[in-house]
């Protein structure tokens, strides 16, 4: 049995005691990839020691999703999984522990199949997001390290360095961003092949410390659904279900994507954006503020937090932001502003070359 890195134990404690605050007699569900076995067992131990009840550990095995999407037919993709809905409705705390052994597992899967299943399970995902205390963590694996162009040791240092921060201190800083965003109407983003305006008037901003994502380090809000106009080119690859899309450029008119192109995997991009009507509108504007994350690793849990970046999520907005856009998808696209980018709040320059002036 592999011994868990002491830093992994510290992260597990953060997830239980800081992110979700597990309490006695609560019902806890853990869903995890088998490669995170040692970490999950530590999490399991901590949850039991807090006096909570573990409804189960649901293990995901390599190629499980690929097998499903390859062989499932329409009637199977559209069959609502009542048992999963029953389970999540009786869950207080949900842990999602990813430990990918093949990040390209779903590469080449028809996007219409992915979209069909996403629409089917949307009520389950909405219940989990809005009615449970949940957190997501990606345990470092060899496959994830290779996907990032690192050795496993380098990737472990990267992951734990992004997670083991003074979260109370960072939270106080992010609260200032929250207050300023909630006083803002128009946001303008300017950069390489980018000039986009949108409105966040009347929307609530959310500080994402480590309540839902580990690592945390972003402040996000929703976008007035018909307000986006202009264009934006994303210089960090967008990854969705193992599919890497590079050189994405989106053009907006009155909130809707009217032009979408990519240098790589454009057909996949267009397919996912056609999932439903809401998939072509912006559900989220996020600001990356974790300056311990300095480079992309092709894994959204980390990339969207890079200090000096912003990201737009196409599709579903979160109810806690007062967003109204509904969709079966939520796909983040990241703009790196550290070289020549600028952000304006109501005409005032608030960020230049990745450095916030607030």
94-144 per-position pLDDT tens digit: 999 999 999 989 888 898 998 899 999 999 999 999 999 999 999 999 999
Residues 208, 216 contacting (CB under 8 angstroms): yes
* pLDDT string in tens for the chain (358-residue length): 678 999 999 999 999 999 999 999 999 999 999 999 999 999 999 999 999 999 999 999 999 999 999 999 999 999 999 999 999 999 999 999 999 999 989 888 898 998 899 999 999 999 999 999 999 999 999 999 999 999 999 999 999 999 999 999 999 999 999 999 999 999 999 999 999 999 999 999 999 998 999 999 999 999 999 999 999 999 999 998 878 999 999 999 999 999 999 999 999 999 999 999 999 999 999 999 999 999 999 999 999 999 999 999 999 999 999 999 999 899 999 999 999 999 999 999 999 999 999 8
**In 105-166, where does DSSP find H-type helix?**
111-120, 122-131, 142-147, 152-163
At 226, give phi and psi (nearest 5°). Answer: -110, 20
Looking at residue 107, its pLDDT comes to 86
Residues 207, 178 contacting (CB under 8 angstroms): yes
How far is 196 from 256, CA to CA, in rounded Å? 13
Task: Please write down the long-range contacts of 271-274, taking CB distance under 8 Å and 24 or more positions apart.
Answer: 271/110, 271/111, 271/112, 271/115, 272/111, 272/114, 272/115, 272/240, 272/329, 272/331, 273/314, 274/111, 274/115
HSE at residue 324, side-chain half, CA atoms within 13 A, is 8
Sequence ranges of the chain with CATH classification 3.40.1830.10: 6-163
- Topology of the domain comprising 6-163: Thermophilic metalloprotease-like (3.40.1830)
Looking at residue 2, its pLDDT comes to 76
Average confidence score pLDDT of the chain: 96
Angle in degrees, CA 315, 317, 321, rounded to 5: 160
210 burial (CB, 10 Å; 0-12 / 13-18 / 19+) is buried
HSE at residue 263, side-chain half, CA atoms within 13 A, is 8
Taking only the tens place, the pLDDT of each residue in 304-329 is 999 999 999 999 999 999 999 999 89
| DSSP assignment letter at 352 | E
213-214 and 133-138 strand pairing: parallel
Take residue 74 and report the two structure tokens written for it: 């329409």
């Amino acid at each position: 049995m592999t011994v868990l890195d002491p830093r992994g134990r510290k992260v597990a404690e953060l997830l239980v005691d800081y992110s979700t605050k597990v309490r006695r007699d609560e019902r806890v569900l853990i869903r995890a990839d088998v490669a995170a076995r040692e970490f999950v067992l530590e999490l399991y131990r901590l949850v039991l020691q807090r006096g909570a009840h573990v409804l189960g550990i649901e293990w995901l095995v390599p190629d499980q999703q690929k097998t499903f999407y390859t062989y499932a037919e329409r009637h199977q993709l559209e069959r609502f999984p009542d048992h999963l809905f029953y389970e999540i409705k009786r869950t207080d705390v949900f842990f999602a522990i990813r430990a990918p052994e093949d990040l390209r597992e779903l590469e080449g899967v028809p996007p219409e199949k992915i979209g069909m299943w996403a629409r089917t399970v949307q009520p389950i995902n909405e219940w989990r997001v809005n009615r449970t205390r949940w957190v997501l963590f990606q345990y470092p694996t060899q496959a994830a390290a290779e996907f990032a162009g690192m050795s496993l040791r380098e990737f472990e240092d990267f992951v734990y360095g992004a997670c083991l921060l003074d979260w109370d201190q960072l939270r106080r800083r992010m609260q200032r961003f929250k207050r300023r965003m909630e006083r803002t109407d128009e946001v303008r983003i300017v950069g390489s092949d980018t000039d986009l305006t949108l409105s966040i008037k009347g929307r609530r901003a959310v500080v994402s410390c480590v309540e839902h994502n580990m690592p945390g380090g972003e402040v996000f809000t929703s976008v007035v659904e018909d307000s986006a106009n202009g264009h934006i080119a994303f210089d960090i690859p967008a990854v969705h279900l193992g599919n890497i899309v590079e050189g994405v450029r989106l053009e907006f008119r009155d909130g809707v994507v009217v032009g979408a192109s990519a240098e790589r995997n454009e057909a996949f991009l267009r397919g996912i954006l056609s999932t439903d009507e809401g998939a072509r509108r912006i559900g989220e504007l996020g600001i990356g503020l974790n300056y311990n994350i300095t480079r992309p690793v092709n894994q959204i849990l980390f990339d969207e937090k890079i200090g000096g970046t912003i990201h737009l999520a196409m599709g579903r907005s979160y109810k806690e932001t007062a967003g109204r856009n509904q969709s079966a998808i939520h796909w983040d696209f990241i703009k790196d502003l550290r070289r020549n980018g600028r952000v304006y709040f109501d005409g005032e320059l608030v960020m230049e070359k990745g450095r916030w002036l607030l």
